[in-house]
Amino acid sequence: ARFFGTRAAVNRLVDEVAPAMKDRTSGFTRITRLGKRMGDDSMMVRLELVNKPAVKAPVAKATAKVAKEVKEKTEVKS
């Protein structure tokens, strides 16, 4: 957690990303050069995972659906 900033980032890496990469022995990442930074002329790169884990459904849609169901239940009781 020291390098990732939050424990949630580490948990996601271990729980979601690592199982998605279980069939690979190497080559987990792809490095794309973006060019040099203006201020200090440092090389900038984009580091991305080769196998991206499946994205979970947004929580906002699920909570809206639950709220709608609760509203319908309260209308039936009236």
pLDDT of 15-53, one tens digit each?
888 888 888 888 888 999 999 999 999 999 999 888 876
45/54 Cα distance (integer angstroms): 24
47/33 Cα distance (integer angstroms): 9
- What are the domain boundaries of the chain? 7-77
Rg (CA), the chain: 21
CATH H-level, domain 7-77: superfamily: Ribosomal protein L17 (3.90.1030.10)
* Confidence (pTM): 0.49
Determine the average pLDDT of the residues in 53-73.
62
More confident residue, 4 or 10: 10
Across all residues in the chain, what is the average pLDDT?
A: 78
Query: Mean per-residue pLDDT for 47-76?
Result: 66
